[in-house]
Amino acid sequence: MISNRSSRVDLRAVKDKPAVGWLSMFMLAGLLLGVVPTDLNAQGKLAQIKPSFDETGHVPPDTTVPGPRSNRAEYIDLGALVVALSAASYLSLKARSRRGIMLLSVLSLLYFGFWRKGCVCPVGSVQNIVQALTDSTYAVPVAVLLFFALPLVFTLFFGRTFCAAVCPLGAMQDVVLVKPVKVPIWVANTLGLLPHLYLGLSLTLVACGAGYLICRYDPFVGFFRLSASFPMLVFGGTILVLSMFVGRPYCRFLCPYGVLLNWCSRLSRRHVTITPEECVQCRLCEDSCPFDAILLPTPERNSEPRAKGIRRLAVMLVALPVLAAGGAFLGSRMAVPMSRLSDRVQLAERMRLEETGRVKELSIETEAYRRTKEPIVDLYREALAIRGSLGKGGWALGGFMGLVIGGRLIALGVWRSRKDYVPDRGECVSCARCFRYCPVEKKTAFTKETIS
């Protein structure tokens, strides 16, 4: 642990990064403003500069991270993304074809996953956007900006068709799903809070200069690039095995980009429906969705329970600011454990242990830092700046999670009347599985074939 006294660094002399306006970050309009670079070619040239090791004779190992792409290749990737999003929207809403969705999923997995090695990934691009908003020295490439924005724009118009057949992470889980089992509702609702926490924590770390958490713990990028550390291979393999029985566990219970897609999908202009015409309430689709995204019809309620529900809702609305305040306070206490997710803070703590004699052997990282001849106090200063910035960001993160929990409780307490089986507009990934169980769907298809 870094000690202010032992490092002899005056925190008042440390220039912390500006505090993050969290609520504004989650507004789509704010995420799309002021992030386009002025010179993309300069960024590409800088990314291709390699250090020289002529004096030591050291040969750098082959990198497992995809190198910079040419403008032409980026345009091809963007074109493929637009075509895939358009095809997925057509297959889900117009053609209503599960077979077509599955075929497109496999093609997306091969291209965006194994061929492009999972980069650029819309899931991780949200970090680039936030860094561009909080760091004036960073400009996000246009390709990354569009990979972040296009799926959200399509979701606003057509629902989560990106999740249906374009996202390689979702496709990776979908192709191995063999025997889905139902997750208890209380478990699903509890685990459903994790993507919000993951999103908030990741963006807090980026805004405070502590690194990219989402890219570091992507469960499938190791398979796409055929190279990963043993712990990440175990993590990704565990997710894949779990995906054989639980429908898309990463998408439902971890994916931070899914939070933004969920919000946009609830506001979508069009969305998939279980039946192409009027629902006959045959109940055949009731258990067809492996993601529990089908909402069942609700029975009629008399006035007395409804009055109780209104009182319960009023209590929850009053408790909402209390939850936000409590969450903000708890978040502010998490600066130290959050800072240890930063490589620079880990290096500073290790360096401190070696300097004080509590660890005798030098690590590879500390030895490499010592060879740079940079003052150790500068490393301590940077680590303390990150930790101080995370102390401020923790308030926003905790407050955000308090609002999320309060919103979930309010949603559970609100009575919504439904006469038919309908998809949950936020949770439904437009996979088209439920179409095959609908007799109205089959009747409509038979009528079209007869007419043709």
Please say whether the beta carbons of 123 and 212 come within 8 A: no
Q: Within 10 Å of residue 157's Cβ, how many Cβ atoms?
A: 16
Eight-state DSSP code of residue 427: T
Q: Model pTM?
A: 0.82
Please say whether the beta carbons of 228 and 65 come within 8 A: no
Query: Minimal CA–CA distance to 58: which of 371, 373, 376, 375?
Result: 371
Tokens of 292: 């529990």
Tokens of 118: 């999972």
**Alpha carbon of residue 125 to chain centroid:** 9
Please say whether the beta carbons of 446 and 306 come within 8 A: no
What are the residues whose beta carbons fall under 8 Å from the beta carbon of 122, sequence distance 6 or more?
Answer: 147, 148, 150, 151, 162, 167, 257
Q: Consecutive 10-residue runs of the chain (452 residues): their mean pLDDT? A: 40 36 39 42 43 54 59 89 97 94 96 90 93 90 93 97 96 93 91 96 94 91 88 93 95 96 95 88 86 87 63 80 93 92 93 91 90 92 94 94 91 80 93 88 62 58
Please say whether the beta carbons of 119 and 220 come within 8 A: no
Query: Minimal CA–CA distance to 400: which of 316, 327, 320?
Result: 327
pLDDT number for residue 47: 43
pLDDT number for residue 288: 87
Query: Minimal CA–CA distance to 407: which of 199, 249, 193, 262?
Result: 193
34 burial type by CB count under 10 A (0-12 exposed, 13-18 middle, 19+ buried):
exposed
